Amino acid sequence: MVNSTQVSYFTLAAYFDSGTFKYLYFMIVMSLYLFIVGVNVLLIVIICMNRSLHEPMYIFLCSLFVNELYGSTGLFPMLLVQILSEVQTVSVPFCFLQIYCVHSYGAVEYLNLAVMSYDRYLAICYPLQYNTRMTSNKIAVLIALTWLYPLLSCHIYVIYLSTHSQLCGNIIYKVYCDSHSVVKLACSYNQVVNINGLIVSFGTIFGALIFIIFSYMKIFLVCFSGSKQTRQKAVSTCTPHLASLFNFSVGASFELIQSRFNMKSVPNMMRIFLSLYWLTCQPLFNPVMYGLKMSKIRVIGKSLMSNVV
């Protein structure tokens, strides 16, 4: 056992000795990170620089792309350093910083998707009143809530976790830091810390999911009773959002399974994939999905690239 006063670093034990292949892994991960940064920044620039895209749907998309950059930056730089390191260790303060980034990223993602479902609900169910219902002030309030609530709640939780968890171990069986792994290292089970973590996580996730389900129930009712044009509009604007929601929910489920259940019988490479999928699936998936499905973004993006070339 390691006494709690002696824990100054964590060892990330999910890494394995890849020998000379570590440079290949480094190049693959670096390429993924550069692609994520490149396409998300490109889409943010396209939305910000074109007044025709200054509509609620695209503003919420811009917020989503900013969050993809935030979550990726919370993972990839440290992942790249660890791949090249001989000993995979991380300091305690940096580990808690990564826990904060990872958890707040997930919460912002779900709330962003919930806000986007509400926007689609107003656009499809109240098309004539959409501009009066979705005002600039409401957009600002929704984006502020999407970011401030997760950032503040995760900040409070991580501070509580770091100050109320007496650690008797320092080995995390993952390639990055997460709160449940730290809780399992505590000298004794801390029910309050665990409950606080569940409240922050499930409160945000289920609150957002209930909001999304309510919005889509209303949308489906309007589609079934509406015209063919209404159904086509709903399909074209809701498909990317539903695909993004499904993709992220699958990734979050992988993370939950990885954290809560014994996965020792699963090959190490598969465990790494399960733990990384939810942090990489959205930053890779969303720009491609929305860039291809949203005709305005696609046309303006092609025009911008042709001008650059």
Residue 115: CATH number of its domain: 1.20.1070.10
Q: How many residues does the structure list for the chain?
A: 309
Whether pLDDT at 1 is above 50:
no
- 91 φ, ψ (degrees, to nearest 5): -65, 155
Instruction: Let me know: does 8 contact 262? Beta carbons within 8 Å.
Output: no
- Please give the tally of structural domains in the chain: 1
Instruction: Let me know: does 20 contact 45? Beta carbons within 8 Å.
Output: no
User: What is the average per-residue pLDDT within 166-187?
Assistant: 83
Whether pLDDT at 5 is above 60:
no
* Domain that includes residue 198, residue range: 4-308
User: What is the average per-residue pLDDT within 183-197?
Assistant: 67
Measuring CA to CA, how many Å separate 126 from each of 24, 28, 236? 52, 46, 17
- 294 φ, ψ (degrees, to nearest 5): -85, 110
Whether pLDDT at 247 is above 80:
yes
Closest Cα to residue 27, out of 80, 73, 82, 92? 80
Q: Give the tens place of pLDDT for each residue, 268-286.
A: 778 788 888 888 989 998 9
pLDDT (0 to 100) of residue 206: 80
Between 6 and 212, name the one with better pLDDT.
212
